[in-house]
Amino acid sequence: MARPTHRLDSPAEERRPFLLGIVIPLKSKSTARSWAEVEARLRAMVASLRGQSSADFAAVIVGHERPEFDDTHFPNLSFITLNAPPPPKTADRQDQRRDKIRKNELGMRHLHAQHPITHWFHLDADDLVHKHFVATVSSLAPFDMAVVHSGYAYYPTLNRYRCLDGIDRFCGSTAITSDRWWISPGTPTEYFCGGIDHTRLNELATLRGVSPQIYPGRGVAYTMGHGDNLYRTPSRRARVWLESRLLSRRCDAEFCRSFGLVAGS
């Protein structure tokens, strides 16, 4: 399906109340080093969503297996199952990426069918969002694309964090796009869904003739060093190990409050 190469203006959309659709693809047990750790990181992510100062969002977790997490009294969040074979234990990077895109697509179509979504955000299941994330994104609307440039690296096993500028070069949880970004020209009811390669954000924005808004402040905590990040290499593991110990600081009360963490955990 052809992708748009121009700005897709939609006055009707701009009159709709802001509603952020958050899609959270969850890796399968088949590729998890530790399912317990995957569940722990997911619960922390859910806590950061539960603590949002604005309720103008609808979120869905998409996975092969339903994990243990608390969704009671949280109507903004749902879980759906991808009814397709999970990646094999030997899945390479491309296999895992294709699985992630399928889950993003299913989640987008699920939310689109139930809610008048105006903007989209793909959130990795182990990352955290600042308590004012949704409210801040809402304050930027209307826009075609916004990018989180500044955030934090968070090391849960060490209970430490550090400031991380240029976070969009490393973390996939950094792009927010207008719903019209995903509409094919001439077919307003047809969507192309899936994922945006965060390393190509500027290129994609240029192709569409838009200038990305910059998210003000540090909106995302990129969770690292817990042993179950999606893509790992020996050199990257060594770099994370050094950075987590030499450049970070212990999580303080303000950081914990901002991202829904329990101080001292």
User: Hey, what are 90's tokens?
Assistant: 């030997």
pLDDT for position 232 = 59
User: Hey, what are 217's tokens?
Assistant: 């402040």
Burial of 148 (0-12, 13-18, 19+ CB in 10 A): buried
Question: Among all chains, which residue has been given the structure tokens 């895109």?
Answer: 101
pLDDT for position 166 = 93
pLDDT for position 70 = 87
What is the full per-residue pLDDT of the chain (265 aa) written as tens digits?
333 333 444 444 557 899 999 999 999 999 898 999 999 999 999 999 999 999 999 999 999 999 999 888 999 999 999 999 998 888 888 888 889 999 999 999 999 999 999 999 999 999 999 999 999 999 999 999 999 999 999 999 999 999 999 999 889 899 999 998 887 666 556 677 777 777 777 788 888 888 899 999 999 999 997 766 544 577 777 887 888 888 899 999 999 999 999 875 5
DSSP 200-236: GHHHHHHHTT--PEEPPSEEEEEE-SSS--SS--HHH
pLDDT for position 89 = 84
Q: How far apart are CA 33 and CA 36, in angstroms?
A: 9
Closest listed residue to residue 163, CA positions, set 149, 173, 178, 143: 149
pLDDT for position 227 = 60
pLDDT for position 1 = 31
Sheet holding 77-81, edge to edge: 77-81, 57-63, 20-25, 119-122, 175-178, 145-147, 213-214
User: Hey, what are 173's tokens?
Assistant: 């949880």
DSSP 156-202: TTTTEEEEEETGGGT-STTEEEEGGGGEETTEEEEE--S---GGGHH
Question: By three-state DSSP, how is residue 80 classified?
Answer: strand
Q: Which domains does the chain have, with CATH numbers?
A: 11-148+172-218 (3.90.550)
pLDDT for position 6 = 35
